[in-house]
Structure 1
Amino acid sequence: MNCYGQSHNIFWGTPAWNDTRILYQHVNASSSFLQVTERDVAFPSAGYFNYRPITAIRAFDQKTNGNGAYATIKSGGINATSVIVRFKSQRGHGINFILEIYVK
């Protein structure tokens, strides 16, 4: 797990050259005055199946001024076939991330 600079980018695992990026998703949520906003993203989505192990999860914070949200793994993750990533904003700020998931 690595975090970089003022943005709250976080990477779990490392994709190999032959891994497949199976999910590329913008995760957005508006800010609410003095409120913390949360958004969960599940992979695979309800009604879909994934039988390939997850090798890497990358969450890129699009806010670079230090006011971005934070990403955590709620369940599943690396070497599992599913994951739920929770995005949690700072008080009074929204969520603006790009989420990538790679599988074998």
Structure 2
Amino acid sequence: MTRGIFITLLLVSCLYVTCGRVNKKHNLILGRRGPNDKVLYRRTITKTNWNPIARTGINVIFPGKKRAGYRPIITEIDAIDLDNYDKGGYVSILKGGIHRDNVLIRFKTQLGRGLKFRLTIYGHD
């Protein structure tokens, strides 16, 4: 009898510990902004996925169009997951990034889910 109670308590505690880790966000914060930095780019990235057995994604390129004489230096990239719990997507840097003048960011959904991120890029001219 006591052995059965012990095993039940052990299983319940294991489930409690593993379920506590589900509430994760998929934020990406790279770099560190300085006192003279400003917001170079801000956008809310949203993608719905109606297909339950597929993943979709969005690529974001900064700066979108090259302007003559405009070469900002990126100091911080913040991609904040606005979805609750573990349902949001994932973010990765494919090209460029911190201390560069360009960046290619890939937002990818989980299987059968959508995503919602707030992307902010800081830097200086």
| TM-score in same-fold range (> 0.5) | yes
- What's the % identity of the aligned pairs? 31
Q: Which has the higher contact order (CA 8 A, sep 6+)?
A: 1
> In the alignment, is residue 46 of structure 1 matched against residue 65 of structure 2?
yes
Q: 5+ unaligned residues in a row in structure 2: which ranges? A: 1-22
Q: Is the Cα–Cα contact under 8 Å of residues 37 and 95 in structure 1 kept in the other structure?
A: no
CA drift of 1:40 comes to 0.3
Aligned residues: 100
CA drift of 1:47 comes to 4.6
Partners in 1 of 2:50 and 2:93 — Cα distance?
Answer: 23
Q: 5+ unaligned residues in a row in structure 1: which ranges? A: none
Partners in 1 of 2:95 and 2:66 — Cα distance?
Answer: 18
Aligned ranges for residues 92-103 of structure 1 at < 5 Å?
92-103=112-123
CA drift of 1:65 comes to 1.1
Per-residue CA distance 1:40-89 (angstroms, 9 max, x = gap): 00000135464121000000001121111011001000011000100011
Match of 2:98 in 1: 78
The structure in which a higher percent of residues are helix is 2
Partners in 1 of 2:56 and 2:40 — Cα distance?
Answer: 26
Q: Is the Cα–Cα contact under 8 Å of residues 68 and 94 in structure 1 kept in the other structure?
A: yes
The structure in which a higher percent of residues are strand is 1
> Which structure is larger by alpha-carbon Rg, 1 or 2?
2
Change (3 A) 1:20 1:38: same
CA drift of 1:6 comes to 1.1
Q: Is the Cα–Cα contact under 8 Å of residues 21 and 101 in structure 1 kept in the other structure?
A: yes
Please provide the CA RMSD for this pair.
1.4
> In the alignment, is residue 7 of structure 1 matched against residue 28 of structure 2?
no
Partners in 1 of 2:36 and 2:24 — Cα distance?
Answer: 31
